[in-house]
Amino acid sequence: MYEKKELNKIRDKRVDWEENCYSNMAKEYPERKIKFENLSATKIKNVYTPEDIAHLDYIKDMGFPGGYPFLRGVYSTMYRGRLWTMRQFAGFGSAEETNQRYKYLLEHGETGLSVAFDYPTLYGYDTDHPLARGEFGKCGVAISSLQDMEILFSEIPIDKVTTSMTINGPAAIVWGFYIANAENRGIGKNTIGGTIQNDILKEYIAQKSFIFPPEPSMRLIVDTFEYGFKQVPRWNTISISGYHIREAGSTAVQELAFTLGDGLEYVKSAMERGLLIDEFAPRLSFFFNAHSDFFEEIAKYRAARRIWAKELKKLGAKKDRSLIMRFHTQTAGCSLTAQQPEINIVRVTMQALAAVLGGTQSLHTNSMDEALALPSEKAARIALRTQQIIAEESGVTDTIDPLGGSYYIEWLTDKIEEETYKYFEKVERFGGVISAIEKGFFQREIAESAYKYQKEIDEKERTIVGVNQYKMDEELSVPILEMDEKGEHRQINRLKKLRKDRNQSKFDRNLKRLKKAAEGVENLMPYILDCVHSYATLGETCDVLREVFGEYKEPAIY
């Protein structure tokens, strides 16, 4: 990019600027007394020049969007051809209530659905299970059966709108509900599109809504890979999630390193089963956080694409479609504040803009009131409008990778990649991802980062507007969504009626067949679908697998 002589001139000019310009101005206006570093504790220089990226060979040929290593974007046309999917994460109370919210969002311009499930559903329990009491619909919608799924998507064109479902431990069963609902409506499996999160390694690391031990959990995931590319070809059978790792307190570098490490573990597991990488890899997708350090987040997404492309190529992927990293982004829930909730709109806008400049394929913008309660209709609409303004008014979609070539962005992209590979080496020394989980490596790293971040806030080394600076004494001025408890009683009564009305012999036969298959080595998806079609509930189906696989108990690591 630059000859040595030219770099020497740039270096001399920088020294001259530091000594005769910057230092003189700094005497009159001293640097602020803060840490000039990003959220991953990378120290940031006062200015970047060609000298900072001269060592990067790829700068000589950054390539173009849609070409290996996909640094500048996974598609040649990016947003000039099609905008990202505006996919607002939504779900609360009963299937009926959430169905109405989906219709509301679609009417206001949402282009994809994203389902939040309540905690009993995430853990594979029906609404009438004793452990589910008090948790109905509070952080997502309760889905206990195919019947609930039918209500959830009633009058929604699921052959035209894609659906993402944030479900992990019981992902294969909930996916079965969605497939069966499509079949019952006469919609072919080959026409429905969407994503199941299905990322159990992340659950052991961060979110903790696991059910089964690692080995059978990995088996179920590979089962969905295999069934998906053969039977449901438009479906992403996993969304490898860094979002929850970041929400648990990781840095951007840890989020990227741990997420990509998990992704590579899934690929290797599928290949060990005998699946061909170019058959299943095109349907792998990712899910990242968009936090508040604007440039760090943009560089993170760019580095992610390049690392993934290089690593999949090493594993033998030949098709470009196998090498590209498609990802969904959600703005950082952990950055939202209950204090002065209206200013969360500004935080979300900045984070969403970073995701778009980083080349996301799908985006959820958090609502301003989510630090207090589930989003109200008004707050959800404002969050959606935020995306629409970025898309239609800001001009950032006019050109592809507009920050490509920035000395700072390219330096930071390379720095994040370098630090990510250092984490790969640490995990390898632990014996791989699952071994590192069992030894508590990821959990300790995240806990230490979370502690450091909170300590900086408490000691005012890091400013959070409205929390430790610029505070106000005021009453809350946003309406709070309140839950209707009638939905829980309606759901429990529906379950009672479902169990009474279904074909009991068909139900018994299909659950017995699932148990026998689980004791063997067959792909379980066809058996799960048979159970689903006979209206076996989520809890009943999970209980069969619990009986065979057991439940995972996290070891004490501290």
Are 52 and 411 spatial neighbours (Cβ–Cβ below 8 Å)? Answer: yes
* pLDDT average, residue stretch 260-267: 98
pLDDT at 543 over 80: yes
**Residue 133 tokens, joined:** 């009491």
Burial of 84 (0-12, 13-18, 19+ CB in 10 A): buried
Q: Which residue has the higher pLDDT, 448 or 55?
A: 448
Q: How many angstroms separate the CA atoms of 161 and 27, rounded?
A: 59
Among 35-39, 284-288, 321-325, whose mean pLDDT is lowest? 35-39
**Residue 509 tokens, joined:** 């036969």
Paired sense of beta strands 362-364 and 327-331, if any: parallel
* pLDDT average, residue stretch 20-42: 89
pLDDT in tens, 51-68: 899 887 766 567 899 999
pLDDT in tens, 337-391: 999 999 999 999 999 999 999 999 999 999 999 999 889 999 999 999 999 999 9
* pLDDT at residue 62 in the model: 79
Whole-model pTM: value is: 0.95
* pLDDT at residue 4 in the model: 83
Among 33-37, 156-160, 458-462, whose mean pLDDT is lowest? 33-37
Q: How far is CA 134 from CA 48, 210, 364, 441, in A?
A: 54, 20, 28, 33
Are 142 and 494 spatial neighbours (Cβ–Cβ below 8 Å)? Answer: no
Q: How many angstroms separate the CA atoms of 133 and 127, rounded?
A: 7
Residue 112 backbone dihedrals phi, psi, to 5 degrees: -160, 150
**Residue 126 tokens, joined:** 């029906």
* pLDDT at residue 479 in the model: 77
DSSP-assigned beta bridge partners for residue 93 = 141
* pLDDT average, residue stretch 462-482: 84
pLDDT at 118 over 80: yes
* pLDDT average, residue stretch 406-412: 96
Domain-wise residue ranges, the chain? 61-91+197-458, 504-549
**Residue 315 tokens, joined:** 């594993």
pLDDT band at 483 (very low <50, low <70, confident <90, very high): confident
Max avg pLDDT among 368-372, 478-482, 512-516: 512-516
Report which of 63, 70, 73, 57 is spatially closest to residue 414, judged by C-alpha positions: 57
pLDDT at 475 over 80: no
* pLDDT at residue 119 in the model: 96
pLDDT at 21 over 90: yes
Among 148-152, 193-197, 470-474, whose mean pLDDT is lowest? 470-474
Among 31-45, 282-296, 321-335, 456-470, whose mean pLDDT is lowest? 31-45
pLDDT in tens, 203-229: 999 999 999 999 999 999 999 999 999
Report residue 209 CA to chain centroid gap.
15
pLDDT at 482 over 80: no
Q: Indicate the DSSP class of residue 173.
A: H
* pLDDT at residue 532 in the model: 98
Report which of 188, 252, 289 is spatially closest to residue 415, judged by C-alpha positions: 252
* pLDDT at residue 43 in the model: 93
* pLDDT at residue 77 in the model: 97
Q: Is 306 helix (H, G, I), strand (E, B) or coil?
A: helix
Give the list of residues 6+ apart from residue 556 with CB closer than 8 angstroms, or none: none
Report which of 316, 323, 300, 312 is spatially closest to residue 420, judged by C-alpha positions: 300
* pLDDT at residue 537 in the model: 98
Give the list of residues 6+ apart from residue 198 with CB closer than 8 angstroms, or none: 167, 168, 171, 172, 175, 221, 224, 237, 238, 239
Are 125 and 404 spatial neighbours (Cβ–Cβ below 8 Å)? Answer: no
Are 177 and 146 spatial neighbours (Cβ–Cβ below 8 Å)? Answer: yes
Q: Is 533 helix (H, G, I), strand (E, B) or coil?
A: helix
SS3 of 370-385: the string is CCCCCCCHHHHHHHHH
Are 65 and 73 spatial neighbours (Cβ–Cβ below 8 Å)? Answer: yes
Exposure on the CB side of residue 142, measured as CA atoms within 13 A: 28
Paired sense of beta strands 194-196 and 238-241, if any: unpaired
- State the fold for domain 61-91+197-458: TIM Barrel (3.20.20)
* pLDDT at residue 326 in the model: 98
**Residue 476 tokens, joined:** 């809350």
DSSP-assigned beta bridge partners for residue 113 = 88, 163
Average pLDDT of the chain to the nearest whole number: 95
Are 129 and 174 spatial neighbours (Cβ–Cβ below 8 Å)? Answer: no
Report which of 357, 249, 243 is spatially closest to residue 294, judged by C-alpha positions: 357
CA-atom Rg of the chain in angstroms = 24
Q: Is 536 helix (H, G, I), strand (E, B) or coil?
A: coil
pLDDT in tens, 132-143: 988 999 899 999
pLDDT at 558 over 70: no
Among 33-37, 67-71, 164-168, 350-354, whose mean pLDDT is lowest? 33-37
pLDDT in tens, 72-101: 999 999 999 999 999 999 999 999 999 999
Report which of 210, 224, 314 is spatially closest to residue 266, judged by C-alpha positions: 224
Q: Percent of the chain scored above 70 by pLDDT?
A: 98
Q: How many angstroms separate the CA atoms of 410 and 173, rounded?
A: 43
Report which of 335, 337, 319, 311 is spatially closest to residue 283, judged by C-alpha positions: 319
Report which of 181, 37, 107, 112 is spatially closest to residue 361, judged by C-alpha positions: 112
* pLDDT at residue 58 in the model: 61
Q: Percent of the chain scored above 90 by pLDDT?
A: 88
DSSP-assigned beta bridge partners for residue 86 = 363
